[in-house]
Structure 1
């Protein structure tokens, strides 16, 4: 059940709807394959169908929703082969990020940002699956952003919806295994050591293990 968006607050209704729907999909409250019925969702969220459509269009662009032949939107379903492909591409992007950071004359500002994101992964409890997904994604997003390569960040962001769907494909138990803080600390330690080749290897291995865990 989705909470009503009773107050505008600092965010627009579209942004609030987008956040609420993204959270519901990421947490599994709305399952893959579920058709997005405008009448039901607009009533639950307390917003107009027009505002809801704007939010759903963005979710479709993000890769969380897909349209059938008649244009009806449903939560995207994803398979084993696609997950492997997604994590191969993701591994290549993030390997470039860590290699770039290792090449900095002063890595400390980048490392400080990544360490802060790592600490954020420890905050949510085991039961807060949506928050843990967000903390995990924030760590990897911060890693890419710290490279200073805007094009790289843009390409990673384009994959974010697919990454979310890959995580939810596995179910909470397997997904949580991939969010282990120590697994991510290995990446930070590799960057701190400053060997770009080794850091890239650690990152690619991290992604390979993640994909293997998700597909079971």
Structure 2
């Protein structure tokens, strides 16, 4: 069977787009590209050694994720979050993750989900002495896992669409405040509530967690 050359080129282009997307996302969420930084196509395409067309595809995705925004005359820049936006983000997170916690608490075989979440918390402890980027990943893995375990694809999709904004909000107030929110006990409180089988208690634990986290970031 013959292979169309155009198919191979398409794969290569997709790979470049994904690599550019990963590099830019990391640069933004780690603060290498600071909020308000104007993103100049010629400079970025040269730095990443990709075409401007491929770069535009990656930047469109970053706009959808809420990491960059369009200003006057369509100029793109790294999004700047204010306190209200962060509270809004965490409010939506609370609604989504409270639903996840409520659904998990209602599972007759929730022991499996609880074990997976306990493991995710232990991973947070494991990375406690690591750099901030790894700690953020461990923290987000816990919350993503909670959504995944519900089997509710719509819920997971909505949570994932917020992930870029979540990463930026974590970086908003600096390293010290970000780390304060990554306390393993605060996450174990959610798991304890899920394990109890009390859906309202589980949902309340998530709301308390998110309200506290947002307050730490914008204090």
Question: Does 1:22 pair with 2:42?
Answer: no
The aligned counterpart of 1:4 is: none
Q: How much does 1:106 deviate?
A: 0.4
| d(CA) in 2 for partners of 1:43, 1:57 | 18
Match of 1:98 among 90, 101, 125: 101
- Report the Cα distance in structure 2 between the residues aligned to 1:34 and 1:213, rounded to whole angstroms: 25
Output the TM-score relative to the length of structure 2.
0.88
Query: Shift of the alpha carbon at 1:98?
Result: 0.4
TM-score normalised by structure 1 residue count = 0.89
The answer to whether residue 173 in structure 2 is matched with residue 170 in structure 1 is yes
Q: CA RMSD in A?
A: 1.8
Equivalent residue number for residue 116 of structure 1 = 119
CA distance in 1, matches of 2:183, 2:192: 15
Instruction: Count residues with an aligned counterpart.
Output: 208
Residue 187 (str. 1) matches residue 205 (str. 2): no
Deviation at 1:101, TM superposition (A): 0.4
Query: How far is the alpha carbon of 1:126 from its aligned partner?
Result: 4.0
* 2:16 pairs with one of 13, 16, 36: 13
Distance 2:101 2:93 in 1: 12
Q: Which residue of 1 aligns with 2:213?
A: 210
Which structure has the larger Rg over C-alpha atoms?
A: 2
Question: Does structure 1 residue 132 correspond to structure 2 residue 135?
Answer: yes
Structure with the bigger percentage of helix: 2
Tell me which moved more, 157-166 or 21-30: 157-166
Secondary structure, counterpart of 2:88 in structure 1: helix
Match of 2:90 among 87, 90, 99: 87
Query: Tell me, which stretches of 5 or more residues in structure 1 are unaligned?
Result: 1-7
TM-superposed deviation, 1:113: 2.7
Which stretch of structure 1 is more off in the superposition, 86-95 or 111-120? Answer: 111-120
Structure 1 CA distance for aligned equivalents of residues 29 and 93 of structure 2 = 18
